[in-house]
Amino acid sequence: MTNPAAVLSTPWKINGLTIKNRFVLSPMAVLQPTEDGRPSDQSIAFLARRAQGGAGLLMVGGGAATARGVAEAPFQPLMRSDDDRFIPGLKRLVDAVHEYDVPVIHQIFPSFGAMGIPGEGRTTRAASPKPVHMGAPRLPNGFYIPGGRTNPTPVEITKDEIREVQEATVAAVRRCKDAGFDGIELGAHMRYLYSSFLSPRTNWRTDEYGGSAENRARILVDTIRALRAEVGDDYPIGVRMSVNDHLPDGQGPKGYAEVAQFIAAAGVDYIALTDGNYESMDANLPRESGAILSHGEAQIFREALPDVPLLISSTYDPQQAADAVESGIVDGFMLARQLLADPDFPNKVMTGRTNDIIWCDHNNSCLRRLIFNVPVTCSKNRETGRESGAAARKATLQQNVLVAAAGNPALMGIADKLASAKNRKANA
Ligand SMILES: Cc1cc2nc3c(=O)[nH]c(=O)nc-3n(C[C@H](O)[C@H](O)[C@H](O)COP(=O)(O)O)c2cc1C
Ligand code: SF4
């Protein structure tokens, strides 16, 4: 049996970047930036605390990289990289993390696609006009939303708009590089713009961006080539994508791995694997550790991409993680909720202090707060979300009620009955 502390303490590389161990802070939009989208003292304190706790690489989540991304962002406020004026603030964040000798990668979104919020005179864009339906039975643990939720139908993005998005993305990545980020990650998962191209379930196009796996990969392939021309071959570029839609008419791991082969061949330095999407949130935010391994999805990706570093989500069992590294399937482990619950998790595992770990309960009160735009805190750790010592932005009464109600099966059961009765009356 492998020794988790020893195996997970080993260094590895993304392009020329050395990462001192296998623990990676998964990208999370929990940074409480300023209202105008700059890193705050809290953003920096949150990240510094994860670096102190032993994570070998930090991913900065939820960056809005274009004017469109900023305007339609489903979570507010987000960190921005859509203008040069944001570079000094981003540099302050990067310098602070580098004090801990830990690299930091910025995850950016040029558009939130079908998950975006339409506004005055502005519709959302996706590969095809397929809305996101978050059905009540597929919500993650701790969420009770009667009838689920369906987002507005996006408009098919035109080729000119695809080119505009690409140009804006290249400019944003240049800013991230100027700010000192050690790399960037394109968010191509969940049902955001890029991900809508990757699966035939959400891409019905008949032009060169739809149909074959090569065509569905094209938007990312072209973007990565343009990024390479801007930032050079040495700058780490990653892509975060799903391994499986987990939906009856969805794409499975073999289809996604085929698309990933084209993306990787364009010059990607790592692929971060996540499970499911907004319509299969139960798979995306699992309770159990290592589903991507036990379902064999990571193995299918490894077979398709023998030489590309792979990171996986939701594998917080140290033994499982160490075994996957030893067998060469996975290189790094992205931890999200476990590092909200216990920022010292990496150090505790690497020094064998596993009895001291504060385990995440997977009840997702953090996520309910995110969805209702309340600063994210953790029910298992009072320090989380308040690392800078400053009081978090106060939630409104309505936001607090929504966060509590969406996590309460009794309240939501009543709401469900009322809604069904109203529907019956309307249909009588
Ligand atoms: C509060 C919160 C915010 C998140 N924000 C982002 C984000 O900005 N970008 C992203 O790719 N994933 C985001 N995620 C998803 C996580 O990175 C991760 O994929 C998910 O939580 C499953 O991993 P876990 O089991 O380690 O929590 C977020 C998750 C949570 C709980
Ligand atoms: S609130 Fe904390 S303990 Fe609960 S799911 Fe989120 S990270 Fe885990």
> Cα separation of 229 and 223, whole Å?
10
Give residue for tokens 């990565």. 224
> Cα separation of 33 and 20, whole Å?
28
Which residues does residue 187 pair with via DSSP β-bridges, in sequence order?
Answer: 240
3-state secondary structure (DSSP) of residue 165: helix
Q: Which pLDDT does position 411 carry in this prediction?
A: 59
Nearest CA to ligand 1 atom 8: 62
> Cα separation of 66 and 171, whole Å?
9
Nearest CA to ligand 2 atom 2: 378
Counting Cβ atoms within 10 Å, is residue 350 exposed (0-12), middle (13-18) or buried (19+)?
buried
Tell me, in angstroms, the distance from the centre of ligand 2 to residue 5's CA.
24
Are 44 and 93 a contacting pair, CB within 8 Å? yes
- CA-based R_g, the chain, Å: 21
Q: Which ligand is nearest to the CA of 372?
A: 1
> Cα separation of 83 and 302, whole Å?
37
Tokens of 104: 């930091």
Residue count of the chain: 428
Tell me, in angstroms, the distance from the centre of ligand 2 to residue 172's CA.
32
Tell me, in angstroms, the distance from the centre of ligand 2 to residue 106's CA.
23
Nearest CA to ligand 2 atom 1: 378
Cα end-to-end span (Å), the chain: 64
Q: Tens of pLDDT along 365-397? A: 999 899 888 899 999 999 999 999 976 666 776
Site to substitute for ligand 2 among 141, 379, 381, most atoms within 8 A of C-beta: 379
Q: Domains in the chain, start-ordered, CATH in brackets?
A: 4-365 (3.20.20.70)
Looking at residue 230, its amino acid is: E
Q: Which pLDDT does position 371 carry in this prediction?
A: 86
Tokens of 106: 């910025």
DSSP 247-305: STTS--HHHHHHHHHHHHHTT-SEEEEE--BGGGHHHHS-SSS-HHHHTTHHHHHHHH-
Tell me, in angstroms, the distance from the centre of ligand 2 to residue 363's CA.
6
3-state secondary structure (DSSP) of residue 63: strand
Which residues have C-beta atoms less than 6 Å from ligand 2?
337, 340-341, 360-366, 378-380
- Cβ neighbour number for residue 363 with a 10 Å cutoff: 17
Q: Tens of pLDDT along 277-330? A: 999 999 999 999 999 999 999 999 999 999 999 999 999 999 999 999 999 999
Give residue for tokens 């690409």. 166
Q: Which pLDDT does position 397 carry in this prediction?
A: 66
List of long-range contacts for 371-374, beta carbons under 8 Å, 24+ apart: 371/75, 371/406, 372/399, 372/402, 372/403, 372/406, 373/75, 373/76, 373/399, 374/399, 374/400, 374/403
Tell me, in angstroms, the distance from the centre of ligand 2 to residue 284's CA.
15
Q: Which pLDDT does position 137 carry in this prediction?
A: 87
Q: Which ligand is nearest to the CA of 316?
A: 1
Q: Which pLDDT does position 421 carry in this prediction?
A: 56
DSSP 94-133: HHHHHTTT--EEEEEES--GGGSPPBTTB--EESSS---E
Residues whose CB is less than 8 angstroms from the CB of residue 365 and which lie 6 or more positions away in sequence, other chains included: 142, 378, 379, 403, 407
Q: Tens of pLDDT along 136-155? A: 889 988 888 878 889 999 99
Residue ranges for the chain with pLDDT beneath 50: 423
